[in-house]
Amino acid sequence: MELSITEKKEKGTRPEDAKLAFGTTFTDHMFNMDYSIDKGWHNPRIEPFANLVLSPATMMLHYGQGIFEGLKAYKTETGEIRLYRPRDNFKRLNKSAKGLCIPTIDIDFIMESLKTLLRLEKNWIPETPGTSLYIRPTVIATDPYLGVRASHTYRFFIILSPVGAYYSAGFNPVNIWISKDHVRAVRGGIGEFKTPGNYAASLFASEQAKKEGYAQVLWLDGIERKYIEEVGAMNIFFCINDEVVTPKLNGSILPGITRDSVLTLAKRWGMKVSERKISIDELIKAHGDGTLKEAFGSGTAAVISPVGEMRYGDKVLTIADGKTGPVAMKLNKAITDIQYGKAEDTEAWIEKV
Amino acid sequence: MELSITEKKEKGTRPEDAKLAFGTTFTDHMFNMDYSIDKGWHNPRIEPFANLVLSPATMMLHYGQGIFEGLKAYKTETGEIRLYRPRDNFKRLNKSAKGLCIPTIDIDFIMESLKTLLRLEKNWIPETPGTSLYIRPTVIATDPYLGVRASHTYRFFIILSPVGAYYSAGFNPVNIWISKDHVRAVRGGIGEFKTPGNYAASLFASEQAKKEGYAQVLWLDGIERKYIEEVGAMNIFFCINDEVVTPKLNGSILPGITRDSVLTLAKRWGMKVSERKISIDELIKAHGDGTLKEAFGSGTAAVISPVGEMRYGDKVLTIADGKTGPVAMKLNKAITDIQYGKAEDTEAWIEKV
Ligand SMILES: Cc1ncc(COP(=O)(O)O)c(C=O)c1O
Ligand SMILES: Cc1ncc(COP(=O)(O)O)c(C=O)c1O
């Protein structure tokens, strides 16, 4: 396959770094590629960022057959452009593809195409610490057909958005709401895939949480509604006594790449780390006897998000006095230092562009 | 709000009734309406059927915030156009809207708009028995934004498709596959709403079933994986001894309008009817002792779909010798006769256009 490139004539300008929000501004170009049963993936092209023209019967709009990824490109002080574990994102995209009956993509080819796109858009990558270029690879089912089945055609696209810090409050603890009534995903379902339906399922409880003043929802398992799963767009970790613990991947949790980075680093540092079931009762108890030292989320958008407060029904659990704890702090620094080229890439996580 | 109408200059032609498939051909016009926080629902318009022009960052494509409905317009022998329980569809649309944090619509206004659209498209409604005009009202989230939250803008549209019989095999029993490993929805989730994510969640098992030669999947509950829920795009009924039984609405099943029609008619006819939990073990036992007389699905697409065979792991349950049973036959005739104006509309289900 040969990548074709059509450059935009009049280039746009990147907003000032200080004014960047999350996911609202897009760069001049995007990557597009089509799939049909006859041709497989074909016509890969970089072209000016443009609207999609879709039949109102497009299957994605009716049956939600789609998948996506989220990763970032970082610019170092010396102007180098770096991707953080990008192949892991494309591996996860291919896993999501299988789960949603979508044809997989060739990771090497996509990596090369993404790098070409990033080189073209290098002026769109902001430089201020904490900022980055968010990369959103997406696949949507495009058959204009109203019966329920896997589509025969797809569009794959990558769009880029220069982003500021995810939480406008900065690296300050967030408050999270534990949903008693709503469930995001269940064993045997699509929770472990990055597919739009999971986020649709999260909206009602998220809006409820927002009304109560909480930034995100912490989900419990769909069966017993007792075991911690993950947060809206992050995996979750707790420091209980001297143990760093996170829910085991069970089929209904997204296998986060930041989660994996946290586990790897914490082990490397000789910390006691475990992936296991964690019940809400265990957390309440640990909070009560003072052994719940920290809680934090992990995800591409915010890297590490300390949790200052968790609410479960009438119970409000304040954690680490509502401040950022040392483990969250250390992990955030270690990961962002690798991303921005301030520390050695001991784990071979970085791919230079 | 005033409905504006822009007529298409060159009208298309409807395919021959005998060549109609399901959901592939669309009529000349569609209904469109937009929502913004400032204006609410606004700019309702009938205009030529046209592609949607959407930013690749459109929230529906990433976070699946959308809902839809499916209903039909029928033409009687005397050329009258009839809708079947359309207000129930729009009530369900509004329930789905609430579940997905989408602003609800004014049912009276939409009913009038739909009727205007149908009058304009009356030549698109096929006449042969079994054919009809399928109506697909849809709402999609349209903010071009990559953060997870409820959108601030939406598009509502209605598209129309002349359709033949849903099952190309006609009113012949279908074979269904009971999924042991996959789950469509769970209590506390979005299963009771008509939203794309539920159909995305059904694809993997459906493709698996197809490979094994089964037309659709019968879902079990997500918690114990023991109780019958529904079929891909139908609710399910069993005749056990002299009881007509269907799973109780529990939050994870779509509350089908045909389901409600079946319950209403069967009760009216003095049959013993119940909505309750039905376990797969009960069905296997009833099949074994010969008391499982019939099984059939209910839904807008096919009205009543007799089930000839159900497969659960290694077990194959043949039902009513793989033929259509008398209860399925009687219900199908009663409902379609009301739809096509061949029987009196005793339940006030018909709304004339
Ligand atoms: C539901 C969900 N869980 C967890 C994560 C964290 O995954 P990652 O660390 O790969 O960004 C994300 C965000 O990507 C997510 O959307
Ligand atoms: C998941 C699901 N269940 C049941 C039904 C049947 O509902 P109705 O009878 O309203 O068409 C449908 C189809 O509309 C469906 O998609």
Which of B52, B65, B151 should one mutate to test binding to chain A, selecting the residue with the greatest count of A CBs within 10 A?
B52
Buried b or exposed e, range A331-345, using 16+ CB within 10 angstroms: bbebbbebbbbeeee
Confidence of residue A170 (pLDDT cuts 50, 70, 90): low
Nearest ligand 1 atom to the CA of A198 is 1
pLDDT tens column, A46-85: 999 999 999 999 999 999 999 999 999 999 999 999 999 9
What was the pLDDT predicted at B168?
55
Which residue on chain A is closest to B161 by alpha carbon? A146
Same domain, A322 and A179: yes
Rounding to the nearest 10 degrees, give the CA dihedral for residues B312, B313, B316, B319.
0
**Helix, strand, coil shares, percent, chain B, to 5:** 25, 35, 40
Beta-carbon neighbour count of residue A318 at 10 Å? 16
User: If you average pLDDT over residues A12-34, what whole number do you get?
Assistant: 93
What was the pLDDT predicted at A303?
94
Q: Do the Cβ atoms of A190 and B201 come within 8 Å?
A: yes
Token pair recorded at residue B310: 């159900």
Token pair recorded at residue A150: 């896997």
Among the candidates A132, A164, A196, a domain finishes at A164
Q: Is the CB of A258 under 6 A from ligand 1?
A: yes
Does residue B315 fall inside a structural domain? yes
Does residue B349 fall inside a structural domain? no
Does residue B350 fall inside a structural domain? no
Same domain, A49 and A104: yes
What was the pLDDT predicted at B255?
98
Does residue A345 fall inside a structural domain? no
What was the pLDDT predicted at A169?
54
Among the candidates B114, B135, B164, a domain finishes at B164
Confidence of residue B169 (pLDDT cuts 50, 70, 90): low
Ligand nearest to the CA of B258: 2
CB pairs under 8 A between A and B: 220
Does residue B344 fall inside a structural domain? no
In this prediction the ipTM stands at 0.97
Confidence of residue B91 (pLDDT cuts 50, 70, 90): very high
Bridge partners (DSSP) of residue A136 are A159
Confidence of residue B22 (pLDDT cuts 50, 70, 90): confident
Give the distance (Å) from ligand 2 centre to CA of residue B200.
15
The model's pTM is: 0.97
> Among residues of chain B, what percentage have pLDDT more than 90?
94
Token pair recorded at residue A205: 């409880």
Same domain, B102 and B238: no
User: If you average pLDDT over residues B165-172, what whole number do you get?
Assistant: 64
Q: Is the CB of B92 under 6 A from ligand 2?
A: no
> Among residues of chain B, what percentage have pLDDT more than 70?
98
Same domain, A316 and A216: yes
Among the candidates B134, B164, B194, a domain finishes at B164
Residues of B with CB below 8 A from A203's CB? 63, 65, 100-101, 148-150
Same domain, A19 and A44: yes
Same domain, A204 and A111: no
Same domain, B156 and B239: no
Which residue on chain B is closest to A53 by alpha carbon? B53
**CA nearest ligand 2 atom 4, residue:** B234
What was the pLDDT predicted at B95?
98
User: If you average pLDDT over residues A174-183, what whole number do you get?
Assistant: 95
pLDDT tens column, B31-88: 999 999 999 999 999 999 999 999 999 999 999 999 999 999 999 999 999 999 999 9
What was the pLDDT predicted at A22?
85
Does residue B347 fall inside a structural domain? no
Confidence of residue A166 (pLDDT cuts 50, 70, 90): low
What was the pLDDT predicted at A168?
55
Does residue A199 fall inside a structural domain? yes
Q: Is the CB of B185 under 6 A from ligand 2?
A: no
Instruction: Point out the residue among A65, A200, A225 whose CB comes nearest to the CB of B100.
Output: A200
Total domain count for chain A? 2
pLDDT tens column, A179-227: 999 999 999 999 999 999 999 999 999 999 999 999 999 999 999 999 9
Q: Is the CB of B86 under 6 A from ligand 2?
A: no
Q: Do the Cβ atoms of B61 and A64 come within 8 Å?
A: no
Whose CA is closest to A196, among B146, B19, B324? B146
Does residue A350 fall inside a structural domain? no
Which residue on chain A is closest to B166 by alpha carbon? A147
Alpha-carbon distance values, A10 to A52, A119, A330, B111 (Å) = 20, 17, 43, 47
Q: What range defines the domain where residue B65 resides? A: 4-164
Q: Is the CB of B235 under 6 A from ligand 2?
A: yes
The contacts of residue B129 (CB under 8 Å, 6+ apart) are B340
DSSP string covering B202-235: THHHHHHHHHTT-SEEEEEPTTTS-BEEEETTBE
CATH label of the domain that carries residue B14: 3.30.470.10
Flag whether pLDDT at A167 surpasses 80: no
Same domain, A206 and A282: yes
Q: Do the Cβ atoms of B52 and A54 come within 8 Å?
A: yes
Give the distance (Å) from ligand 1 centre to CA of residue B250.
30
What was the pLDDT predicted at B166?
63
User: Residue B114: CA atoms inside 13 Å, Cβ hemisphere, count?
Assistant: 33
Rounded CA separation A70/A88 (Å)? 11
Confidence of residue B18 (pLDDT cuts 50, 70, 90): confident
pLDDT tens column, B275-312: 999 999 999 999 999 999 999 999 999 999 999 999 99
What was the pLDDT predicted at A172?
82
CATH label of the domain that carries residue A202: 3.20.10.10
Same domain, A154 and A97: yes
Beta-carbon neighbour count of residue B49 at 10 Å? 18
Same domain, B143 and B62: yes
Q: Do the Cβ atoms of B149 and A57 come within 8 Å?
A: no
> Among residues of chain A, what percentage have pLDDT more than 70?
98
Same domain, A188 and A335: yes
Q: Do the Cβ atoms of A183 and B184 come within 8 Å?
A: no
Same domain, A131 and A181: no
Q: Is the CB of A97 under 6 A from ligand 1?
A: no
**A23 vs A71, residue with greater confidence:** A71
Instruction: Point out the residue among A56, A149, A161 whose CB comes nearest to the CB of B159.
Output: A56
Confidence of residue B92 (pLDDT cuts 50, 70, 90): very high
pLDDT tens column, B118-150: 999 999 999 988 899 999 999 999 999 999 999
Which of B146, B210, B225 should one mutate to test binding to chain A, selecting the residue with the greatest count of A CBs within 10 A?
B146
What was the pLDDT predicted at B180?
93
